[in-house]
């Protein structure tokens, strides 16, 4: 069981959520779950360890009720999602049960690894009021300029529609992915390790430079 025990100090006082959304694109665009470093993904306040990883699944499994995450101490959940490269995030779908346990607000943060509930007091990059969406049909479009270079995404489910705990069945991420260029470091190291034998002919006695 993941410990919760967070205090927000005076509670949240968010501005207006952005509640506009569009019908979801087809599932071929919801492939970013493949680019998540799933072993390092964290879900804080999940009732059972590891369940938070289960909701990032293929499009054709989005309505599967066998895999889900439920909150523990209260209605909040915090997903820390590391990617294996750089992501331009364009949209999110979040689906739960068609009752009061469905998430009602989602707050997005980028590039804050190991984010805790204490960190959620800061202003998010974007926040959404959510509708109940048991069939995973509603997409919430992000402000792409703010999410164009994301290595780590945090999703804070701050409240639901009134239940003691929150259920999430599916989180879909739409966007573009760029592979991390780790080989550049190797190339630099290789070039820096030049063979001194290559420069023998250029070495001249220092006495030539003494007048």
Give the model confidence (pLDDT) of 174-208 as tens digits.
999 998 875 544 444 444 445 555 544 444 444 44
Yes or no: say if 138 and 24 are a contact pair by the CB < 8 Å rule.
yes
Report yes or no on 36 lying in a domain. Answer: yes
What ranges in 17-81 are assigned the alpha helix state H? none
Q: How many domains does the chain have?
A: 1
Residue 139 lies in a domain: yes
User: For 81-93, how does the pLDDT look when each residue is reduced to its tens digit (9 = 90+)?
Assistant: 999 999 999 999 9
Evaluate whether residue 113 is within a structural domain: yes
Does the model's pTM come out above 0.85?
no
Q: Which of 135, 173, 136, 169 is nearest to 154 (CA)?
A: 173
Kindly tell me the burial class for residue 32, based on how many C-beta atoms sit within 10 Å of its own C-beta (0-12, 13-18, 19 or more): buried
Nearest CA to 77 among 110, 41, 111? 41
- Give the C-alpha separation, 41 to 81, whole Å: 5
């Amino acid at each position: 069981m993941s410990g919760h025990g967070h205090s927000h100090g005076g509670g949240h006082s968010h501005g207006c959520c952005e509640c506009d959304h569009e019908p979801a694109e087809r599932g071929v665009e919801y492939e970013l779950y493949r680019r998540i470093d799933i072993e390092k993904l964290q879900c804080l306040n999940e009732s059972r360890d590891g369940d938070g990883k289960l909701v990032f699944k293929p499009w054709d499994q989005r309505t599967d009720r066998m895999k889900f995450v439920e909150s523990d101490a209260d209605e909040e959940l915090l997903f820390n999602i590391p990617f294996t490269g750089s992501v331009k995030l364009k949209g999110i779908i979040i689906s739960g049960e068609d009752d009061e346990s469905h998430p009602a607000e989602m707050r997005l943060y980028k590039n804050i690894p190991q984010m805790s509930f204490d960190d959620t007091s800061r202003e998010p990059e974007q926040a959404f009021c959510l509708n109940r969406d048991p069939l995973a049909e509603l997409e919430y479009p992000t402000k792409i300029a703010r999410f164009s270079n994301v290595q780590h995404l945090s999703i804070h489910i701050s409240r639901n529609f009134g239940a003691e705990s929150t259920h999430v069945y599916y989180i879909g991420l739409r966007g573009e992915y760029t592979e991390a260029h780790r080989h550049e470091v190797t190339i630099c190291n290789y070039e820096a390790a030049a063979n001194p034998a290559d420069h023998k002919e250029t070495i001249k006695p220092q006495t030539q430079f003494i007048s």
